[in-house]
């Protein structure tokens, strides 16, 4: 079977529900994702519109937070029987910590949905928190998983891994989302046994997944590729395609991010 996994920072599901449902309705049953990781839902669990996605054939696993952060992972009804919720937040997080990680297992594949801290500005306390969070994510992998299993980490990483992932590397060099320590933290994460699936399948293609609302960023294509689908070697070996769907970014009142979708032939 082909397992299609998508990631999308919706930047408030309350504001983006019309676009999210429009996107799913615009896809054929064959092209709709089987699993959708949403970030920045910005609502408590009870306020997430699970019933609207249920109408479209999805079960929702929600890990919400009012106003900021929050995640939801949607799984198609046909696969809901194989769904297992593994983890909400990193194991050493306090109970009131920001909602940034939601791990599930579906169809034998571990799907870890993350919203990595933005970091605000290089050298700030929030920047240090971001680097520490990424280091703790690596520790979580070390403690709980092995790279020989089929596992993917999807989400808004708030880091552009390589110069090709930035519209102007000279402008962004040393700045938040593209500083050397952030990129090194991504390298450390990948060294556990993860691959940037989009870049592996599209080594020379420059596309972006985020564009600033300001300064006509989308129209001028002043973007970054910060929404990633990382996969272990066994899962990457089954990867057929990874695409960035820019269409929802053209619609009225869009998120500043757009969906990224990977297709895996998991047998």
Pick from 29, 107, 26, 102: nearest CA to 70: 102
Write out the E strands in the chain: 2-9, 35-39, 58-63, 71-76, 84-88, 101-106, 109-115, 151-156, 194-196, 210-211, 223-224, 227-232, 239-244, 260-265
**Cα–Cα distance between 124 and 119 in angstroms, integer?**
7
In the residue annotation, 156 being an active-site residue is answered as yes
By the 8 A CB rule, do 125 and 117 touch?
no
**Cα–Cα distance between 58 and 55 in angstroms, integer?**
7
200 CB neighbour count, 10 Å cutoff? 13
Options 34, 58, 115, 196, the catalytic residue: 115
Q: Please give the structure tokens belonging to residue 91.
A: 């194991």
Pick from 93, 46, 90: nearest CA to 72: 46
By the 8 A CB rule, do 49 and 13 touch?
yes
Options 34, 58, 140, 156, the catalytic residue: 156
Return the active site residues. Answer: 115, 156
């Amino acid at each position: 079977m082909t397992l299609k996994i998508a990631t999308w920072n919706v930047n408030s599901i309350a504001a983006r529900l019309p676009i999210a449902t429009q996107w799913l309705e615009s896809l054929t049953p064959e092209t709709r994702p089987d699993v959708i990781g949403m970030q920045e839902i910005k609502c408590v669990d009870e306020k997430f519109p699970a019933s609207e996605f249920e109408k479209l054939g999805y079960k929702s696993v929600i890990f919400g937070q009012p106003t900021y952060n929050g995640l939801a992972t949607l799984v198609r009804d046909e696969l809901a029987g194989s769904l297992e919720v593994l983890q909400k937040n990193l194991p050493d997080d306090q109970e009131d910590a920001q909602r940034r990680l939601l791990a599930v297992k579906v169809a034998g594949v571990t799907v870890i949905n993350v919203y990595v801290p933005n970091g605000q500005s290089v050298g700030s306390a929030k920047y240090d928190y971001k680097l520490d969070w990424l280091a703790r994510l690596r520790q979580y992998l070390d403690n709980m998983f092995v790279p020989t299993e089929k596992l993917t980490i999807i989400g808004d990483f708030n880091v552009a891994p390589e110069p090709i992932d930035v519209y102007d590397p000279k402008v962004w060099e040393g700045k938040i989302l593209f500083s050397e320590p952030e990129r090194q933290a991504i390298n450390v994460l990948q060294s556990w046994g993860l691959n940037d699936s989009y870049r592996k399948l599209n080594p020379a293609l420059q596309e972006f997944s985020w564009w600033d609302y300001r300064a006509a960023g989308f129209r001028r294509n002043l973007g970054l590729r910060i929404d990633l689908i990382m996969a272990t070697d066994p899962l990457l070996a089954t990867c057929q395609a990874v695409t960035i769907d820019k269409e929802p970014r053209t619609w009225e009142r869009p998120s500043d991010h757009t969906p990224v979708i990977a297709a895996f032939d998991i047998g």
